[in-house]
Amino acid sequence: MAAAPAASGQQAVPPLAFDPEHLQGADERRGALAAVALLQATTGDEPSREAARAQHVKLVLEQLDPSRHPLAAPAQTTGAAARRIVEAMGLLTAAGGPPFPRCGDALLSLLGRGDRSFRGAVLEAIEALVDWERRALAIGDSTGTPTIDALGTRLVHNPPPEPAVIEDVSRVLWRVDGKRFLEYGFEAVRRHCEAYPRSTDLIVKQIRARLRITFSSVEKWLSWWDEQKDASLSEIFAECQRIVSEEAATQWRQAIGRLRETQDAERILAAVEDALQTARAEELRLEAVAALAEFTGWIREAKISAAGDPEAKEPQGGAEALRAQLLERAFHLLLDVTRGTLLTSERPEVSLAAMAALRKQRALLGNRPDLLEPLSKFAAARLEILVDAESDRSSSQIVRSEVLELVRTTGSLRLVAARQHVETILSRARQKGDLELLAACTAALGELTRSQLSRDTANLFISLFEERDGSDNSKAARMELRRACVSGLNAMPADAEVRTVVRGFYLKILESSEERELRLGAILGLGTLAQGKDQGALEALVTVVSQPQRYEPLEVIGALDAIAYVGGQEALSRFVSLLSLRDRLAARDKAVFDHLWRKVIGLVLAQGHAVLPAVLQQMQSLAVERDSVLLMESVTRLCTDPQISGFLSTEGLDAGDAARMRSLWTAALALARAAECAGAAPGPEEALLAQLSKLQAENPQIRTKLTAETEALGKYVESRRRRKELAARLDAPQQEPEKLIAAFEQMLAGGRAAEETWLDLRWFEKQLALRRGTERGLLLARRWRERMSAPGGEALFGALGPTFRERYQARIDALVAPAAPPAVAPAAPSAVPPATPPAVPPAAPPAVAPAAPPQTPPSAAPAALPSGVETPPAA
């Protein structure tokens, strides 16, 4: 190795007289002086001392001959003379420079040789040589020197050096230039990993010992180094510390997970508490805060006991008392972390995480004002300080992050004491145009004013919503602010004027095609108003459901949920009125109608069998009013639903329970009517009618208490008998169509209820539709149309009204027409058809006459029946 230039100036120490006996003697002090004298004797240029110098140099080289020093020798096996000479070399080099030429080569040849004491002296001498080279060459610590390069070359040499040499080179190279050690070390790993795996493992071991991190394979080590090689040593240290901290946090999290399996809530909380009181690593403290946040959710569901043993004796006050105590301890821990009382100079990230975890304890804090009070005071005091600190630009980002979290916590937990500061921050954020902070303040203020929304606050939210800045960069932030405004108005204000303003705001969003992203929020807000008995909001929600083609399925489902929250008979009545929209809702998305049906079932179950008669009566009345077979089909579906069918069971029926009997009678009659109207095959209604008839015959008390119900049931049974008889005569050749029409007209006479008249008319229309395409069916349809159009024909429709008559006659006209009926039934005509229909040639009869239809129409019959467009419910 080329030696560094010699230092100019005087010798580091005055010349000493060399005594060979002292060099190897037992006296360490005299031995060290003798070694210095020996090295001084090897220098100089006087001719008279040339022979003496040669002898001294020979002695030094003999003592430092590598062959005399085995690799990794046992302790205390190297001669004292050699060690003292090396120590003197280091001393003289540090004082003035290398004592003789190629001193560095001699030292490098001794790496890994001798006992520990000797090897340590060699390393210290090499370290002194590197320091001298840096001074002599006037270079910094980050620049390599000849000796550093020579050390690195030893590591990457092929083949690699012996293990002891690798160890010593790593030790000294790390001490003199840690970054160079890593560069040479990873280069050696890259070169030797395949051919020399043992040497590679030794080098990786040296790297691992100094970085305090580890990876599972050489490939991962090299991949990590590729990411870090351009970083400074301090940055590499920081990354290593991060990895170590993350690994420790991961191990701690796994330990908490195993501890959670024991169900020992006290031990879990104690472990978290210990970590927060002792750990300083940010990653571990963040894990502890996260564990506290999870703990507050886990403990509400866990089966706990004082000893963590589910079979152990319950503590005093029961498991719920223990649960409450542990939740309170967890809350205080989070509060202490937030306030920074557990650790001096708590990292902001940890405090903010604790604040976010506190928001998850809303359920606990809502019932514990004693716990909420200290948090509210802290939030108010802290916000007051931070509001004043916002002017300090050096800390603005840190302050802003804490303000954001505090504002969010204030809103989420409704810390009323901090409301004034939230309003101040909102005002400043509006002036600065800080949309994120403005959205957080708006959301918080909405929570704080939820039960007392004033006109001023409502106007503030609306004005913030309507502000526009036109900046594309702030589009997402502006949308978040507008969402916060919509959510902030989601309240039940007591003032009718404020309710009107809020309702109008939500309706404006629903009517605007530009506010599609906010419509669901508006629907939820209308739902809140509807829960507060605001009829306008409820009507708006019904309108949303009635126009599924205009809204997204999720929005329609949201409107259904909002109506359901109103609850009781009010919501159920609205849902029943929407059932006639089955085809329209299902055409948009089948899930929408399924959701509506589940809501109906849920509300009926919630109110019990007593509500069933009213629901069925409403369905039937609406079916007649809207001329809707769909509603009658819904009656059948409701009564046969597995969850509702128990209401129609006669098992264990007490004849003295008039309400229960009346409910059963009404439901049975409604089910029978609906099944016949829908054209379903005989089902449960037949057995139910037979059971009720038997009960009525056997128990006079029923006839006395349920006079109206038993009479209605009797009339229906008689009407159905007459319809069956007429159905059997319709295909009899000897029966003239005029007489059949007259028989049906006689069925309609007698001042019957609108429901019975509608059922008869729909039944006869279905009979004609079943025979369409036959000569007899066409003849019957013509005669029926002529009779309806003749003078006095309006009396056939009873109390059903002219609107129904127009729709009904239009459908009969379609049966008379020779062409196939249109796919979609024509709209109701604006005028009543003329009394005398135009002449229409009869359709050609089929080659084979169809069989007579059964007395009970098949279930598929409704699909063949032309029907008018269902009338939507009034919005």
Residue range 408-446, pLDDT digits in tens: 999 988 888 899 999 999 998 888 888 999 999 999 999
Tell which wins on pLDDT, 609 or 172.
172
Question: Distance (Å, rounded) from C-alpha 834 to C-alpha 421?
Answer: 77
Mean pLDDT of the chain: 82
The predicted structure's pLDDT at residue 319: 75
Indicate whether 210 pLDDT > 90.
Answer: yes
Q: Is the pLDDT of residue 381 over 80?
A: yes
Greater pLDDT, 819 or 458: 458
Q: How confident is the model at residue 861 (pLDDT cuts 50, 70, 90)?
A: very low
DSSP character for 513?
Answer: G
What does the DSSP 8-state code read for residue 6?
Answer: P
pLDDT-based confidence at residue 868 (cuts at 50, 70, 90): very low
DSSP 8-state code for residue 113: B
Residue with the bigger pLDDT between 667 and 180: it is 180
Continuous segment of H or E residues that includes residue 230: none
Q: Mean per-residue pLDDT for 85-105? A: 90
pLDDT band at 200 (very low <50, low <70, confident <90, very high): very high
* Three-state secondary structure call for residue 71: strand
**DSSP type of residue 450:** T
Out of 74-78, 378-382, 594-598, least confident range: 74-78
pLDDT computed for residue 702 by the predictor: 75
The residues, ordered by sequence, that sit 6+ positions from 534 with a Cβ below 8 Å of its Cβ are 499, 503
DSSP-derived letter for residue 142 is: T
Given a cut of 80, whether residue 557 has pLDDT beyond it is: yes
DSSP tally for the chain: helices H, then strands E: 41, 0
Stretch 487-505: mean pLDDT: 91
Contact 179, 232 (CB under 8 A): yes
Instruction: Note whether 285 and 347 are within 8 A (CB).
Output: yes
Q: Which residue has the tokens 């060699």?
A: 122
CA distance linking residue 337 with residue 428, whole number of Å: 28
Check: CB of residue 464 under 8 Å from CB of residue 481.
yes
pLDDT at residue 832 is higher than 80: no
pTM greater than the 0.85 cutoff: no
**Percent of the chain whose predicted confidence (pLDDT) is above 90:** 32
Bigger pLDDT: 739 or 141? 739
Q: Are 481 and 438 in contact (CB under 8 A)?
A: yes
For 332, residues 6+ apart whose C-beta sits below 8 A from its C-beta are none
Mean local confidence (pLDDT), 772-783: 89
Q: How far apart are CA 212 and CA 243, in angstroms?
A: 9
Query: What percent of the chain shows pLDDT beyond 70?
Result: 87
Q: How confident is the model at residue 705 (pLDDT cuts 50, 70, 90)?
A: confident
How does DSSP classify residue 797? G
- Contact yes or no for 358/335 (Cβ under 8 A): yes
Q: What is the pLDDT of residue 327?
A: 85
Question: What does the pLDDT read at residue 3?
Answer: 45
Return the C-alpha torsion angle 358, 360, 362, 367, nearest 10: -80
- The residues near 374 (Cβ < 8 Å, ≥ 6 apart) are 335
366 φ/ψ angles, rounded to the nearest 5 degrees: -60, -25
- How many Å apart are CA 578 and CA 538, to the nearest integer? 13
Report the pLDDT value the prediction gives residue 817, as an integer from 0 to 100: 79
pLDDT at residue 390, as a whole number: 60
What backbone torsions phi and psi does residue 872 show, to the nearest 5 degrees?
-70, 155
- The predicted pLDDT at position 708 comes to 80
Can you tell me the mean pLDDT for 776-803? 88
Question: Rounded to whole angstroms, what are the CA distances from 823 to 145, 627, 634?
Answer: 94, 19, 23
Count the alpha carbons within 13 Å of 93 in the hemisphere toward its beta carbon.
30
pLDDT at 302: 73
